[in-house]
Amino acid sequence: MSKGKFYITTPIYYPSGSPHIGHCYTTVACDSIARYKRMQGYDVMFLTGTDEHGLKIEQKAKEKGITPKQYVDEIVEIFKKLWKYMNVDYDRYIRTTDDYHVEAVQKIFTALYEKGYIYKGEYSGNYCTPCESFWTDSQLDEDGCCPECHRPVKQAKEEAYFMKMAPFAERLEKLLTETDYLRPKTRATELVNNFIKPGLEDLCVSRNSFKWGIPVPFDKDHVVYVWVDALSNYITALGYDNDAYDDYDKFWPADVHMVAKDIQRFHAITWPAILMALDLPLPKHLAVHGWITFNGQKMSKSLGNVVDPFVLGERYGADSIRYHILREMALGADSSFSNEIMINRINTDLANGLGNLVSRTVAMVEKYFGGTLSTERESGEFDDELIAEAEALRGKVDEYIDNTQLNNALAEIFKLVSRANKYIDETTPWILGKDETKKARLASVLYNLLETIRIAATLLSAFMPSTMPLVFEQIGASESDTSYDNAGRFGVLPLDVTVKKGAAIFPRIDVDKEIEELNAIIKKNAEAAQAEAKAAEKPEESKPEGVALIGIDDFAKVELKTARIVNCEPVKKSKKLLKLTLDDGANGRTVASGISQYYKPEELVGHTVIIVSNLKPAKLCGVESQGMILAADCPNGDVKVIFADDIPAGSKIR
Ligand code: MSP
């Protein structure tokens, strides 16, 4: 009999690049909860998917010379392949380009408009022309420049639709402070103080400067802007305002939305406000986790530290990776990923802890009983403690699952694994095995170990679904022995259980060798990413053939001079810029130049270069650049600064 329904969702991911280990965290966490709930007897709906509209996708597709739909189709396949590879068993996958979602979002937008919550206005803000993006003040970099390309932004305006937020402020504050919607609750104060108390800003819900989005049904110049489109997925995927599915009444409201901290605000404020405006019930819980960082740094393609789950899975198995990321991340906090920590964790917990417990126990049943336990029993010291701990485990894990604290659930299970390993040391079965009169006691000890393994592995099967069946096989547990109900009691395996020795479930990893190989992969990835970035920059910078002819008057407007580089250093906040201090034959000047990929500072100092000396100064990543130095884009993709070493600094070029 069903225990009721359970609806859990991940965010829908932007298919703007290959998924990495950071994307895996939420999906694997939701998958583990969904599996656990299914095991408990709930009727589960686990939803994930992709958020496929927006300017970024439109631009990337253009760069590749394909349509946005072709572009997202390719990447969605990689996401789906990854989820399969990571043993993620979702019930439904939504793509925001699916017809039913498009139709439903148009109805939702119209309903909000007709209820008077949406109005037409003007979006004004910091606009970066090269990136074609608006940025809020808080998104700008430390110099007030574009957070993506670090070039100056300008104030710009665009016609847009807005959703009124003020009518929901009071209810939202109560939701965050008086209910247990938000997890961890400690985050409520920051949301209330930063966004609600100062007065909620109306939400921009349409754009008219790009086309790749869901058209606003009553104003075709506009597309629905990201959040109304994206957030609605949680209800359209159930069939809300569409005929593709019929699960809304059964599954809504969601039991758990899980997201990372960067999109917490949209799920804690925007989404409940949209639901309030539509008069729909609110989700029960929003679980917010931190970011997986790499050695404490943000993951970034150009650093080569975007941890590729396919590479790790290939080397250590998908279940070990699942275990590692779930065990390391505490709800609400960041978790620093490092290859060393991962390998040590796998070796300590999985190879030495669980793997060793299984192989030692099974080997002893084979050695002392020929593989099938005899049925006489004799209890002894330490048994009661082990049995009590094993029987209490399920209740503790249930609670942690219900509070979305998966790291604690795993820690609890591995406490029992350690307890069982200690029980082996306490009961010394290898000594009992030497004495024929201790056979019954030995059978009890080994049976207690098999039972403890059965309970731990049953509960673990939600987290490591492909390896736990191998444990069940080795300890001779049938399908019904490993049900959720049986995980709550001791003494389920038959007294004469037959074990089956198999290969090591979690082989020990050679730490030094693996670290060396993984570091080599990171280095290679970083080089490949840099080469790719360089190649991507070229078309923009190289002038098309047949550029417009200019007259001598135009050329005369450009003042070119020689200048000697007296100092050179990297610009801290930029991966591309070098700051050059120049002797220009006059007062001296500073120039920032995007050549750090091609030159080390010491290779430039002492050389004389040509500068455009009458360029308007511009602030680049905190450095005021007074001019630019001339460099050549070589046909092989290299960039070479033009040196004029035998010409005195300050000479005018004509
Ligand atoms: N499309 C939006 C979500 C819309 S939900 C209605 C989006 N997509 S995303 O692909 O950029 O990010 C999806 C989720 O992955 C976010 O919760 C994001 O924080 C998470 N992660 C991306 N990198 C991450 C890590 N390195 N670590 C943990 N999660 C991170 O935002």
How is residue 624 written in tokens? 């005021």
Closest by Cα among 415, 354, 406 to 32: 406
pLDDT at position 170 over 70: yes
How is residue 607 written in tokens? 């050389």
Closest by Cα among 330, 382, 323 to 348: 323
3-state SS record for 560-605: EEEEEEEEEEECCCCCCCEEEEEECCCCCEEEEECCCCCCCHHHHC
Q: Are 568 and 607 in contact (CB under 8 A)?
A: no
Nearest CA to ligand 1 atom 8: 13
pLDDT at position 547 over 60: no
Pocket probe for ligand 1: among 13, 30, 95, 97, the residue whose CB has the most ligand atoms within 8 Å is 13
Q: What pTM did the predictor assign? A: 0.81
**Type of residue at 128:** C
DSSP lists the bridge partners of residue 452 as none
Residues 216-245: pLDDT tens digits?
Answer: 999 999 999 889 999 999 999 999 999 999
Q: Phi and psi at residue 621, in whole multiples of 5°?
A: 45, 45
pLDDT at position 293 over 80: yes
What is the DSSP code string of 214-270?
PEETTEEEEEE-HHHHHHTHHHHTTTTTSSS---HHHHPSPSEEEEEGGGHHIIIII
CB atoms within 10 A of CB 585: 16
Closest by Cα among 89, 91, 86, 90 to 467: 86
Which ligand 1 atom sits nearest the alpha carbon of residue 11?
5
Of 617 and 104, the one with more pLDDT:
104
Q: How far is the CA of 32 from the centre of ligand 1 (A)?
A: 18
The pLDDT, as a whole number, for residue 537 is: 60
pLDDT at position 148 over 80: no
pLDDT at position 543 over 60: no
Rg of the chain over CA atoms, in angstroms? 31
Q: How far is the CA of 359 from the centre of ligand 1 (A)?
A: 39
Q: Are 447 and 458 in contact (CB under 8 A)?
A: no
The confidence band for 544, taking pLDDT boundaries of 50, 70 and 90, is: very low
Average pLDDT, integer, range 54-82: 94
Of 76 and 575, the one with more pLDDT:
76
3-state secondary structure of 653: strand
pLDDT at position 636 over 80: no
Pocket probe for ligand 1: among 96, 225, 236, 291, the residue whose CB has the most ligand atoms within 8 Å is 291
Average pLDDT, integer, range 409-435: 98
HSE value, Cβ hemisphere, 13 Å, CA-based, for 414? 21
The confidence band for 627, taking pLDDT boundaries of 50, 70 and 90, is: very high
pLDDT at position 457 over 90: yes
All residues at 6 or more sequence positions from 406 whose CB lies less than 8 Å from its CB, including other chains: 29, 32, 33, 326, 329, 400, 463
The confidence band for 115, taking pLDDT boundaries of 50, 70 and 90, is: very high
Q: How far is the CA of 4 from the centre of ligand 1 (A)?
A: 29
Of 114 and 551, the one with more pLDDT:
114
CA 457, CA 416: separation in Å to the nearest integer? 11
Pocket probe for ligand 1: among 9, 148, 263, the residue whose CB has the most ligand atoms within 8 Å is 263
Average pLDDT, integer, range 63-72: 95
Q: Phi and psi at residue 32, in whole multiples of 5°?
A: -65, -40
pLDDT at position 508 over 90: yes
Q: How far is the CA of 13 from the centre of ligand 1 (A)?
A: 6
The confidence band for 300, taking pLDDT boundaries of 50, 70 and 90, is: low
pLDDT at position 467 over 50: yes
The pLDDT, as a whole number, for residue 545 is: 41
Q: How far is the CA of 53 from the centre of ligand 1 (A)?
A: 15
The pLDDT, as a whole number, for residue 438 is: 97
CB atoms within 10 A of CB 531: 12
CA 243, CA 232: separation in Å to the nearest integer? 15
The mean-pLDDT minimum among 176-185, 247-256, 492-501, 624-633 falls in 624-633
Query: Helices 318-328 and 406-427: crossing angle, nearest 10°?
Result: 110
Closest by Cα among 92, 54, 27, 119 to 236: 92
Which ligand 1 atom sits nearest the alpha carbon of residue 293?
26
The pLDDT, as a whole number, for residue 624 is: 86
The pLDDT, as a whole number, for residue 574 is: 76
The pLDDT, as a whole number, for residue 304 is: 63
Vertex 402 angle, CA 397 and 403, to 5°: 100
Closest by Cα among 455, 381, 373, 459 to 422: 381
The pLDDT, as a whole number, for residue 294 is: 80
**Type of residue at 511:** V
Mean pLDDT computed over every residue of the chain: 92
Nearest CA to ligand 1 atom 24: 22
The pLDDT, as a whole number, for residue 594 is: 86
DSSP count for the chain of H helices, then E strands: 23, 25
Q: How far is the CA of 19 from the centre of ligand 1 (A)?
A: 10
Closest by Cα among 502, 12, 635, 6 to 285: 6
C-alpha to C-alpha distances, 235 to 225, 239, 604, nearest whole angstrom: 17, 7, 59
User: What stretches of 327-381 adopt beta strand conformation (E)?
Assistant: 335-337
Q: Are 606 and 643 in contact (CB under 8 A)?
A: no
The pLDDT, as a whole number, for residue 301 is: 64
The confidence band for 17, taking pLDDT boundaries of 50, 70 and 90, is: confident
CA 625, CA 463: separation in Å to the nearest integer? 54
The pLDDT, as a whole number, for residue 546 is: 42
All residues at 6 or more sequence positions from 133 whose CB lies less than 8 Å from its CB, including other chains: 55, 127, 146, 148
The confidence band for 296, taking pLDDT boundaries of 50, 70 and 90, is: confident
Pocket probe for ligand 1: among 16, 21, 51, 205, the residue whose CB has the most ligand atoms within 8 Å is 51
Burial of 511 (0-12, 13-18, 19+ CB in 10 A): middle
HSE value, Cβ hemisphere, 13 Å, CA-based, for 47? 31
Average pLDDT, integer, range 443-470: 98
Q: How far is the CA of 625 from the centre of ligand 1 (A)?
A: 35
Q: How far is the CA of 350 from the centre of ligand 1 (A)?
A: 29
pLDDT at position 542 over 80: no
- Whether a cis peptide bond, with omega within 30° of 0, leads into 184 is yes
Residue 612 parent element (H or E): strand 608-612
Query: Helices 439-460 and 356-369: crossing angle, nearest 10°?
Result: 150
User: What stretches of 57-96 adopt beta strand conformation (E)?
Assistant: 92-95
DSSP lists the bridge partners of residue 7 as 45
Query: Helices 21-40 and 68-85: crossing angle, nearest 10°?
Result: 60
Residues 342-386: pLDDT tens digits?
Answer: 999 999 999 999 999 999 999 999 999 999 999 999 999 999 999
CA 192, CA 570: separation in Å to the nearest integer? 40
Vertex 369 angle, CA 367 and 374, to 5°: 160
Residue matched to tokens 């997201």: 259
Closest by Cα among 462, 340, 494 to 44: 462
Indicate the Cα dihedral angle 591, 592, 593, 599, nearest 10°: 90
Nearest CA to ligand 1 atom 25: 22
Nearest CA to ligand 1 atom 6: 231
CA 288, CA 278: separation in Å to the nearest integer? 24
Query: Helices 21-40 and 406-427: crossing angle, nearest 10°?
Result: 70
Of 17 and 568, the one with more pLDDT:
568
pLDDT at position 539 over 60: no
CB atoms within 10 A of CB 565: 24
What is the DSSP code string of 101-160?
HHHHHHHHHHHHHHTT-EEEEEEEEEEETTTTEEE-GGGS-TTSB-TTT--B-EEEEEEE
pLDDT at position 405 over 90: yes
The pLDDT, as a whole number, for residue 597 is: 81
Average pLDDT, integer, range 145-151: 83
Of 240 and 542, the one with more pLDDT:
240
The pLDDT, as a whole number, for residue 541 is: 40
Q: How far is the CA of 24 from the centre of ligand 1 (A)?
A: 10
The confidence band for 80, taking pLDDT boundaries of 50, 70 and 90, is: very high
Please tell me what DSSP assigns to residue 643: B
Average pLDDT, integer, range 468-493: 98
- Whether a cis peptide bond, with omega within 30° of 0, leads into 19 is no
Q: Are 236 and 95 in contact (CB under 8 A)?
A: no
Average pLDDT, integer, range 395-407: 97
Q: How far is the CA of 61 from the centre of ligand 1 (A)?
A: 21
Which residues contact ligand 1 via a Cβ below 6 A? 11-14, 22-23, 25-26, 51, 230-231, 233, 259-260, 262-263, 291-292, 299
